[in-house]
Amino acid sequence: MSGNVLYYGDNLDILRRYIDKESVDLVYLDPPFKSEQDYNILFAEKNGSESKSQIKAFEDTWIWDEAAVNAYAEVVQHGPEKVSQTLQGFRTSIGPNDMLAYLSMMAPRLLELKRVLKPTGSIYLHCDPTASHYLKILMDAVFGPINFRSEIVWRRTNSHHKLTRQYGPIHDTILFYSKGENSKFQLGFRPYTKAYIESRFTKQDERGRYQLNYLTGPGTREGQSGEPWRGFDPTTAGRHWAVPASLRPFLPEQGKKMTSHEKLEALYKQGLIVFPKKKGGQPMYKQYMGPGVPYQDMWAYQPNTHDVLFGSDGCIDEDVKYLEHEDEKLGFETQKPLGLLERIIRASSDEGDVVLDPFCGCGTTVSAAHGLNRRWIGIDITYLAIALIKHRLESAYEGKVEYQVVGEPVSLPDAEALAKQDPYQFQWWALGLVGARPVEQKKGADRGIDGRLYFLDEPEEARTKQIIFSVKAGTLKPEYVRDLRGVIERENAAMGVLISFHEPTKAMRKEAAEAALYHSPGWNKKYPRIQLVTVAELLSGKGIQCPPSKHANVTFKKAPKAKRKKDQTKRLPLY
């Protein structure tokens, strides 16, 4: 894969059909699970005969139904032995329930993700404490315990007050595994605290602030590291020469082929070693501040710490702050902050690498990867998510992102097949073609409205008006136009649009024409109050008649403008 790709469909199918073996450098996934259910409901026993329910946008559908039973059987019968045994163990311990369904669905996906990862690749699995302990066991079975790297605790909210005999659940877990021992990894740094710097690094030269630290380590050694140097014998103090790793950048080739005394001489000539003024003392080296404190496995934004960090106006871990009312929050229920993904992507990939998110939702991973000059693959099972990602990339990068979408209809036969296979997905796809968003999908609760598009009119007053959408994939009837007209009046909407697969009848066109025109005071232009548009017309490039969408459409919140970033840190050699 040479470019960026968004895939619509089941990620298991997409991975198997489209993603090549060992073609991905980094995987991040945040698979949904109903973590806020009552414990007894979560583990409610079911007989496995329940049919697979309709997948709905932004909802978890992991239930012990026929699909879950089949997924369990496939892995147990044909999967790797350790993974098969692990799933069987789960069934013995927790029984056939929603959690087992979740694990049964995750197992084949994790196996496919391992297949597509390069030998130097890594995977970050984001979950919450409801399932993290099960998933860690499953990840051990798939990737091997030896490839477990970290269990990161991320603070996902400030506080949680809905407590019932428990402490406030305010964190998520991110399980970090590599595919092998040679995985890419560059540790990032958090700024030091002012108190630490001002109390320890009290000296300064042309290189910056520093403190004096020991050049020796505890215990005596034979060989050159225990021999005297420039009149100083470390053995007399029960120590030996030990040049710290922080001084390697000052040595030729990081000091790999140098003896202890050669290292000391090279450092001394650069003015990095200070001799004691008092008899009996030992030489010390200048320890400079360095980039900061290496990230640990707890990522917790600390509010109200603006004056704490040295050389920074931000709070502790502000780059991974949970989303509250920030501009980047787009209204997606489980949206993660851009900084969280940027930290992960910087740590475990290089520019030009491929980053994959198989549950890409509103596209935070995709946007972060693009901003850091990585190639990316996003997969989602709803057209609404694909539409959101398109809109996000358009607004964040001003339409300068090149990518392709695989799996969405590009012809009438494609659209017809989608309408027959999944009416809801057809509806979301059709609404996406005109920049509208669907209403909440509850049977019988849409009140004749399939979608809405909001636009600004009368700019001086910044008034928001709406266009109502009705989507029909089947046979058309004249009353559909009359119904839409009634909804427009009831909702006090500016216009209404009926999107149909088939050509509207003459009676329908006459009914629409009788609805008169809508006059836009902001744009001083008239538009048909009721418009009839076919899927064929939309596919050919025809849009709806309304105020210019680039300036007036406010249906989706625009993502903040982003700039592609250059990685400033270089990978350090591992010793």
Domain ranges in the chain are 5-189+298-406, 202-288, 412-552
Cα-Cα-Cα-Cα dihedral sign, residues 501, 504, 508, 513: positive
What CATH number labels 5-189+298-406?
3.40.50.150
Residue with the two structure tokens 């009290």: 202
Question: What is the reported pLDDT for 435?
Answer: 87
| Other beta carbons within 10 Å of 348 | 25
Q: Is the pLDDT of residue 520 over 90?
A: no
pLDDT above 80 for 504: yes
Residue 43 has pLDDT above 70, yes or no: no
Weakest mean pLDDT among 113-122, 372-381, 413-422, 456-465: 456-465
Task: Look up residue 140 and give its two tokens.
Answer: 């051990």
Determine the Cα–Cα distance for residues 159 and 504; give it in Å rounded to an integer.
Answer: 54
- Return the pLDDT at 34: 59
- For residues 435 and 391, give the distance between their C-alpha atoms in angstroms, rounded to a whole number: 8
Q: Packing angle between helix 66-78 and helix 81-94, nearest 10 degrees?
A: 140
Q: What is the mean pLDDT of residues 95-119?
A: 96
- Lay out the sheet containing 24-29: strands in order across: 298-299, 148-155, 171-178, 117-127, 24-29, 354-357, 375-380, 5-8, 404-406
Structure tokens at 502: 């088939």
How much of the chain, in percent, has pLDDT values that exceed 70?
90
* Three-state secondary structure string covering 97-118: CHHHHHHHHHHHHHHHHHHHEE
DSSP label of 503: P
The domain 412-552 is placed in CATH, from the list 3.10.50.40, 3.40.1350.10, 3.90.25.10, 3.40.50.460, at 3.40.1350.10
CB-count burial class (<10 Å; 0-12, 13-18, 19+) for 62: buried
> How does 144-163 read in b/e, with b if 16+ C-beta sit within 10 Å?
eeebebeebbbbbeeeeeee
**With 90 as the cut, is the pLDDT of residue 214 above it?**
yes
First-to-last CA distance in the chain? 33
The answer to whether 566 and 346 have CB atoms below 8 angstroms apart is: no
What is the strand order of the sheet 495-500 is part of?
A: 437-438, 451-457, 463-472, 495-500, 530-534
Write out the E strands in 230-353.
239-241, 273-274, 284-288, 293-294, 298-299
Q: Per-residue pLDDT averaged across 554-566, rounded?
A: 73
- What is the reported pLDDT for 456? 83
In this structure, how many other beta carbons lie within 10 angstroms of the beta carbon of residue 494?
21
Please, which residues bridge with residue 63 across strands?
none
Percent of the chain that is helix, strand, coil (3-state, to 5): 35, 20, 45
Instruction: Look up the pTM and report it.
Output: 0.86
**pLDDT value for 191:** 94
Tokens read off for 564: 């592609």
Residue 212, judged by CB atoms within 10 A of its CB (0-12, 13-18, 19+), counts as: middle
Q: Report the run of H or E that residue 416 belongs to, with start and end.
A: helix 412-421
pLDDT at 49 over 50: no
Q: Please, which residues have CB within 8 angstroms of residue 554's CB and are 6 or more apart in sequence?
A: 454, 455, 456, 464
**172 vs 154: CA distance, rounded Å:** 5
CB-CB contact of 402 with 3 (8 Å): yes
Is 50 exceeded by the pLDDT of residue 42? Answer: no
Q: How confident is the model at residue 267 (pLDDT cuts 50, 70, 90)?
A: very high
CB atoms within 10 A of CB 15: 23
Dist CA 322 CA 343 (whole Å): 14
Cα 299 from Cα 525, distance rounded (Å): 53
pLDDT at 91 over 80: yes
Q: Is the pLDDT of residue 166 over 90?
A: no
Give the bridge partners for 356, in sequence order: 27, 377
pLDDT above 50 (res 44): no
Whole-number Å distance between alpha carbons of 248 and 267: 10
d(CA 110, CA 142): 7
Residue 302 bridge partners (DSSP): 316
Q: What are the CB-based long-range contacts (under 8 Å, 24+) for 204-211? A: 205/271, 205/286, 207/286, 207/288, 208/288, 208/289, 209/288, 209/289, 210/286, 210/287, 210/288, 210/289, 211/286, 211/287
| Contact predicate 241/264, CB 8 Å | yes
189-190/203-205 β-pairing: unpaired
- Residues 61-72 have a mean pLDDT of 86
Exposure string over 239-277, b if 16+ CB within 10 A, otherwise e: bbbebeeebbebbeeebeebebeebbebbbeeebbbeee
Residue type for position 214: Y
Q: How does the average pLDDT of the chain come out, rounded?
A: 87
